[in-house]
Copies of this chain bind each other. A is one copy, B any other.
């Protein structure tokens, strides 16, 4: 093993990572990788051999077999290499999944659970059982576990082992040996890593499609019970001075409005949070499958459901107008369970942004990852760590 700490080792780590990232962005030959990363073919070939030996990269067979000379062999990320494990604590479900280096889900499990008010230790114990189950499945498929991240609906401490508060679970200052992360942050990271870019040229479907560019600066809004948001700036999460950034749910919308659980008045959560919307739509917030009931009612043109979603969309648009005026992002992305309500929320959101944003509106898109974004982001966190430093997985 020469995975040392000197400048040579650091250079090797950087080069291995550059090669692996080049392979990750599309199957390509060693020559194409060398051209992309700016290293000699000989250097790249050695690094590729190491990555193949480590089981991170595979050869797909000859590309363009009709060409003269030694055919370029296409390289791809291995489907049997390191595996990222993600888990999710929802208010009434637990989930776990495993993704491979390619970001493909290889194992997955979800159970219903009444986590509101239940002791954190019991909830996490049940979650660990689920994690054990998907990990065993992944190992049986030839994958090697590379790390676990648990998504929680609450504020997480900088140590990533403390849930400072998760009011919808009733958690406060819960410490765990597991690595935890805020669910809105993971949803945003999934969008950053896995969405495959956006047409940022226009928000108008009637316009000609433009080239897809990766979004690197956006506001990601999600919701389960509360409203969560995360800011992605320069291709990374923006966490703020204390790690509290992205609290869109408590941006004032109507400053003299109803009292919020946070103590203030008229927060966005009082208009667009799940509980507020369900109540306005006449659906019991405790009902299992309540969001599906809301979607069904809206699809059936139920007047109360439509009015509730219209008001929520408007409130979301008002709060986001302030956010966009402050941050000037490339786009606003609706993700998580909220994305399933997008058809009814988007008109109000777009109207408010169009009227209130300096420079004329903002691009608003639905996440393609939908409700799965959070869990995928949790699982893919470990994969990103491998792509950023594969040297721990190579044998020299």
Q: A: which residues have CB within 8 A of B?
A: 217, 229, 231, 233, 238-248, 250-255, 262-265, 267, 318-319, 321-323, 325-330, 355-359
Secondary structure class of chain A's binding surface, majority of residues: loop
How often does this chain occur in the complex, in copies?
A: 2
Contact between chains at B321 and A252 (CB < 8 Å): yes
Q: How far is the CB of A45 from chain B (nearest CB, A)?
A: 27
CA distance in complex: A239, B229 (Å)? 20
Contact between chains at B322 and A358 (CB < 8 Å): no
Contact between chains at A358 and B250 (CB < 8 Å): yes
Residue of B nearest to A217 (CB): B241
A-B contact pairs, 30 of them (CB 8 A): A231-B326, A231-B327, A233-B238, A238-B327, A240-B327, A240-B329, A241-B329, A242-B328, A242-B359, A243-B328, A244-B358, A245-B326, A246-B326, A247-B325, A247-B326, A247-B358, A248-B325, A250-B321, A250-B325, A251-B321, A251-B325, A252-B321, A252-B322, A252-B356, A254-B255, A262-B358, A263-B355, A319-B322, A326-B326, A326-B327
Contact between chains at B252 and A328 (CB < 8 Å): no
CA distance in complex: A357, B322 (Å)? 15
CA distance in complex: A83, B321 (Å)? 41
Contact between chains at B322 and A244 (CB < 8 Å): no
Kindly identify which residue among B239, B255, B355 contacts A253, using a CB–CB cutoff of 8 Å.
Answer: B255
Contact between chains at A326 and B251 (CB < 8 Å): yes
Contact between chains at B241 and A328 (CB < 8 Å): yes
Instruction: List B contacts of A358 (CB < 8 A).
Output: 244, 247, 250, 262
Instruction: List B contacts of A357 (CB < 8 A).
Output: 250
Contact A356-B326, Cβ < 8 Å, known A255-B318, A318-B252, A321-B251: no
CA distance in complex: A229, B327 (Å)? 11
Contact between chains at B327 and A264 (CB < 8 Å): no
CA distance in complex: A325, B245 (Å)? 6
Q: How far is the CB of A173 from chain B (nearest CB, A)?
A: 14
Instruction: List B contacts of A229 (CB < 8 A).
Output: 326
Residue of B nearest to A326 (CB): B323
Instruction: List B contacts of A231 (CB < 8 A).
Output: 326-327
Instruction: List B contacts of A253 (CB < 8 A).
Output: 252, 255
Residue of A240, A318, A330 with highest tally of chain B CB at under 10 A: A240
Instruction: List B contacts of A247 (CB < 8 A).
Output: 325-326, 328, 358
